Amino acid sequence: LGSSAFYVINQRTGEVLLERNAAEVLPIASITKLMTAMVVLDAGQSLSEPVVISEEDIDQLKGTGSRLALGTTLSREEMLQLALMSSENRAASSLARHYPGGEAAFVEAMNVKARLLGLWNTRFHDSTGLNPANVSSPRDLAKMVAASASYPLIREFSTAHERYVPVHGRMLRFGNTNSLVRSPEWTISVSKTGYISEAGRCLVMQTWLHQQPVVMVLMDSYGRYTRTADAKRVRKWLEQTAPQRLAAAPQGAGS
């Protein structure tokens, strides 16, 4: 595999199917946004409330661009979907700013949530993942993916193919950063990609193989397509060498 660290687990049985450097603490880039989404939803704020992109949401750290121009006003629900599906940094930043107490309180809530989930090697400094000090381990991220899978909106938004939103009078299309969600060969319940230079290409998913929920965490891969190729290789290896581990669940088992 091209990923320097990975962790693959059968979420139902707890069996570790594949791992390398699973306890290594690494920058996680936009995988951060799964925690951002959980904190937003935990707060119970109105999803229809308008959220405005401001100067504070412009990326001064990495200089990344965005099609969400200054003054763009969308609902909290739309911003949440763009953050999860398209990894929109300004959307994630605006969600943190519109949290009770502002961004500082939001980041603190992210770290409190991490402790509650037992993510002892995880630390957040912003809501976007642009800050390389946002770190975690593959093992921690598997727990975070499993936790996020309990939120119906995270499942829906992170795996949606596309969404059109109005930006200054024009309807703009935003797509999913994970091409696998559009593949009929995959059943994916949670998805998030990430990239900054310090983190490499990252991908986390909850996917279904032989009716079993399998969490894949792939970190620090190189090349634009390596993380999805790694996911395909993991799936092929599991289906060829470990079919007994992925046997159909007993009749009546929960999902």
Collect all residues with Cβ–Cβ distance below 8 Å to 186 and sequence separation of at least 6. Answer: 180, 207, 235
At 88-137, the pLDDT tens digits run: 999 999 999 999 999 999 999 999 999 999 999 999 999 999 999 999 99
Query: Alpha carbon of 198 to those of 93, 194, 217, 229: distances in Å?
Result: 20, 11, 17, 20
Give all strands (DSSP E) within 176-211, no chain letters: 188-196, 200-209
- pLDDT tens, position by position, 227-255: 898 999 989 988 887 666 676 444 333 32
What letter does residue 95 receive in the DSSP assignment? Answer: H
Q: What integer pLDDT is reported at residue 239 of this predicted model?
A: 85
Catalytic residues: 30, 33, 87
Element (H, E) at 251: none
Q: Is the pLDDT of residue 1 over 50?
A: yes
Strands 200-209 and 212-221: antiparallel
H-state helical runs in 86-125: 89-97, 102-116
Q: Is the overall model pTM greater than 0.75, yes or no?
A: yes
Q: Give the pLDDT confidence score for residue 247 in this predicted structure.
A: 63
- Domains in the chain, CATH or no CATH each: 5-241 (3.40.710.10)
Separation between Cα atoms, residue 30 and residue 201, nearest integer Å: 10
- Axis-axis angle for helices 152-159, 76-85 (nearest 10): 60
